[in-house]
């Protein structure tokens, strides 16, 4: 139902465009209006609050960024300009919600508590002045609680209350409005006192922390006045991307799409390398050949670091893109160091080391399953019913066709290739199948659930979110993505002792590689101590030693362990289908979904449709180790 037009108070300096703004708000449309005197009014949807920052110069950039991180904000050069705008917007929104508050964010002139002679970092001041009204008192208390909970790496906040009206604000700087109001002033701890030089990390932390505290204040006001029902304070954040986000997203994706990291570090001569290795009695590392690089890493890095992030107006998205920038930087560094000793160290920085707990979990799996696997000899394996690359390709096309019927945008392609080691690989929207691939026939459905039901599905679901970041993957997504893909094999009734042993063997080989073992030494470790056939062990060490030493293969078991912990804590799988995300991004995805920035998955995995999948998922919630996922 459309609201009756609000009576707009006609004050001196009242802008001519205000009637159009009011009409847009009434219709539930977003508003982004530049002010002739400088500043902006931004309202991405009607909410019972407005965050205001008054500044005629750029002397308080952090307060400005905190204000404009909100879904509803006004940046104005002075109170004279701001007052009629706030009055008009507030009159309409108060009528709509039954209550309306204004939060003003400013900066103090100096960081006066800082003492260079102190043996420790002193607290920093935050001054709060709040009107004596129930809703605002609740907002102020919630703001203080949120601020005091900040895990300050450098300095902690010291709260000081001022009487209302705030006597520290001059008459020309005071908003003359009838709505409940709260004024927050923060010390400029992000810059040096004398030179004004910026501390970037403190600046980012301060923006994110005060912005979050502001959302807590708005949520407390809404609850106290019963003007709006929300499930979390984060739901009051932005519901729409500004154009700068889209530009940044496209620029980041252009860099990410300019190279295929896994193809670039995967040998093209796997079969010849195995023949060379076997001919030398597995005592000398074979020579691996790679595709020529199609990009210049330095040029890609220049493009990557020329992407501006300062206009995103959203601390959460800002952090996600900065993390992705750092990840791409490491990947490009690895490509430039391919086949050198530096490659493995860049890989350690990107994927992390093999933690003691992860290594022990891998050893436990190998110890528990070695005897069972050694009991079956090579001839028995050869006589098992097998599937070649042509059967796999045919079934893959059928599965992709069914996903396409469920989601018209599921436009995946299947390619059978001669330049890949035996197995399957997803690259963007393509499923690549090595022509030499042969596997047990009853493993086909499980491996396609891994590759199509997780890797391709999250690519297309991420594409549907509007930002390419969610299809190319948030920083660090690969661990949880691979853990989820392995778990899909279990839900598809395809988890076997051999498969679990293989995943554990990759961890053991990665640990040996990081400890300085050569490829032949790691190979002997798998054959002599863990009972692998020589050809099986070679496939493992080829993956681990490719490019110069790639620790990536440790993430499969790590991701599976993280996923089991998540399920044991009562977690759900749903947010993981929205796109390619890391375990650390689970709460971020929930927040963006609550804000309306992300939608649910466009298509869910088909393996979840199977009758036994629900029972298997329930069983997994009580699994202590991956071994508990095996059918006995």
417's CB contacts (< 8 A; 6+ apart) are 432, 433, 434, 435
- 484 with 534, same domain: the answer is yes
The pTM assigned to this predicted structure is 0.86
Mean of the per-residue pLDDT values of the chain: 90
- 113 with 149, same domain: the answer is yes
- 491 near 567, Cβ under 8 Å? no
Could you read off the pLDDT of 480-496 as tens digits, one per residue?
A: 999 999 999 999 999 99
In a domain? residue 433? yes
Point out the domain boundary residue: 233, 251, 280: 233
- 407 near 460, Cβ under 8 Å? yes
In a domain? residue 2? no
SS3 539: helix
Could you read off the pLDDT of 611-630 as tens digits, one per residue?
A: 899 999 999 999 999 999 99
In a domain? residue 305? no
- 74 with 23, same domain: the answer is yes
- 270 with 217, same domain: the answer is no
How large is the angle between the packed helices 356-374 and 555-568, nearest 10 degrees?
100
How sure is the predictor about 337, in pLDDT bands with cuts at 50, 70 and 90? very high
In a domain? residue 321? no
In a domain? residue 5? no
CATH of the domain at 163: 3.40.630
Q: Work out how many domains the chain is built from and give that number.
A: 2
Burial state string for 363-374 with b = 16 or more CB within 10 A and e = fewer than 16: bebbebbbeebe
Q: Which domain holds residue 39?
A: 18-233
In a domain? residue 437? yes
CA count, 13 A, side-chain hemisphere, 250: 5
183's CB contacts (< 8 A; 6+ apart) are 104, 106, 128, 129, 130, 162, 166, 169
- 288 with 186, same domain: the answer is no
Cβ burial of 577 (10 Å; 0-12, 13-18, 19+) is buried
- 228 with 266, same domain: the answer is no
- 173 with 266, same domain: the answer is no
Q: Whole-angstrom distance between the N-terminal and C-terminal Cα of the chain?
A: 61
Rounded to whole angstroms, the Cα distance separating 610 from 371 reads 32
Lowest mean pLDDT among 72-86, 382-396, 507-521, 532-546: 382-396
In a domain? residue 320? no
Could you read off the pLDDT of 182-203 as tens digits, one per residue?
A: 999 999 988 887 788 888 888 9
Give the residue among 73, 82, 89 at the shortest CA–CA distance from 12. Answer: 82
Q: What is the mean pLDDT of residues 323-340?
A: 97
- 133 with 281, same domain: the answer is no
In a domain? residue 467? yes
pLDDT at 112 over 80: no
- 225 with 266, same domain: the answer is no
SS3 370: helix
- pLDDT score recorded for residue 123: 84
- 205 with 265, same domain: the answer is no
- 228 with 354, same domain: the answer is no
- 572 with 502, same domain: the answer is yes
């Amino acid at each position: 139902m459309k609201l009756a037009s609000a009576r707009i108070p006609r004050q001196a300096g009242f802008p001519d465009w205000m009637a159009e703004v009011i009409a847009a708000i009434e219709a539930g449309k977003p508003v982004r209006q530049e002010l002739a005197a400088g500043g902006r009014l931004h309202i991405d949807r009607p909410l019972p609050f407005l965050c205001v920052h008054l500044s005629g110069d750029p002397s308080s950039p952090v307060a400005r960024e905190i204000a404009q991180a909100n879904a509803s904000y006004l940046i104005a050069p002075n109170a004279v300009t701001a007052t009629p705008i706030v009055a008009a917007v507030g009159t309409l929104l108060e009528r709509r919600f039954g209550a309306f508050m204004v939060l003003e964010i400013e900066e103090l002139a100096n960081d006066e508590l800082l003492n260079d002679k102190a043996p420790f970092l002193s607290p920093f001041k935050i001054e709060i002045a709040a009107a004596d009204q129930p809703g605002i008192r609740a907002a102020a208390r919630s703001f203080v609680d949120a601020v005091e909970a900040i895990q300050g790496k450098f300095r902690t906040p010291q709260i000081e209350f001022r009487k209302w009206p705030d006597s520290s604000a001059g008459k020309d700087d005071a908003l003359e409005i009838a709505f409940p109001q709260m004024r927050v002033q923060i010390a400029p701890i992000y810059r040096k006192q004398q030179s004004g030089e910026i501390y970037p990390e403190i600046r980012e932390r301060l923006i994110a922390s005060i912005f979050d505290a502001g959302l807590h204040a708005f949520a407390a006001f809404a609850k106290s006045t019963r003007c709006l029902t929300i499930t979390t304070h984060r739901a009051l954040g932005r519901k729409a991307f500004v154009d700068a986000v889209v530009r940044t997203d496209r620029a980041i994706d252009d860099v990410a799409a300019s190279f295929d990291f896994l193809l670039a570090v995967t040998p093209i001569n796997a079969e010849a390398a195995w023949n060379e290795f076997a001919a030398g009695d597995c005592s000398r590392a074979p020579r691996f050949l790679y595709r020529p690089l199609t990009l210049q890493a330095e040029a890609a890095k220049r493009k990557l670091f020329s992407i501006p992030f300062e206009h995103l107006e959203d601390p959460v998205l800002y952090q996600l893109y900065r993390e992705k920038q750092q990840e791409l930087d490491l990947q490009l560094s690895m490509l430039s160091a391919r086949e050198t000793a530096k490659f493995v160290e860049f890989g350690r920085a990107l994927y992390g080391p093999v933690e003691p707990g992860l290594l022990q979990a891998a050893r436990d799996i190998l110890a528990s399953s070695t005897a069972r696997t050694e009991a079956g000899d090579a001839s028995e394996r050869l006589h098992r019913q097998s599937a070649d690359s042509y059967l796999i390709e045919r079934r893959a096309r059928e599965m992709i066709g069914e996903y396409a019927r469920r989601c018209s945008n599921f436009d995946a392609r299947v390619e059978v290739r001669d330049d890949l080691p035996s197995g399957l690989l997803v690259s963007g929207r393509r499923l690549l199948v090595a022509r030499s691939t042969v596997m047990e026939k009853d493993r086909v459905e499980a491996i396609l659930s891994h590759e199509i039901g997780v890797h391709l599905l999250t690519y297309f679901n991420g594409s549907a979110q509007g930002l390419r970041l969610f299809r190319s993957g948030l920083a660090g997504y690969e661990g949880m993505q691979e853990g989820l893909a392995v778990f899909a094999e279990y839900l598809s009734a395809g988890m076997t002792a051999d498969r679990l042993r293989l995943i554990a063997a990759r961890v053991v080989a990665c640990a040996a590689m990081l400890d300085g073992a050569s490829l032949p030494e790691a190979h002997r470790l798998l054959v002599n101590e863990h009972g692998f056939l020589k050809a099986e062990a070679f496939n493992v060490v080829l993956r681990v030693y490719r490019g110069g030493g790639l620790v990536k293969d440790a993430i499969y078991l790590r991701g599976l362990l993280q996923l089991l912990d998540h399920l044991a804590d009562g977690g759900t799988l749903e947010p993981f289908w929205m796109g390619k995300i890391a375990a650390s991004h689970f709460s971020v995805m929930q927040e963006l979904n609550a804000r309306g920035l992300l939608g649910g998955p466009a298509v869910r995995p088909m393996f979840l449709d199977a009758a036994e999948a629900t029972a298997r998922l329930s069983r997994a919630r009580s699994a202590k180790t991956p071994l508990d996922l095996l059918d006995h």
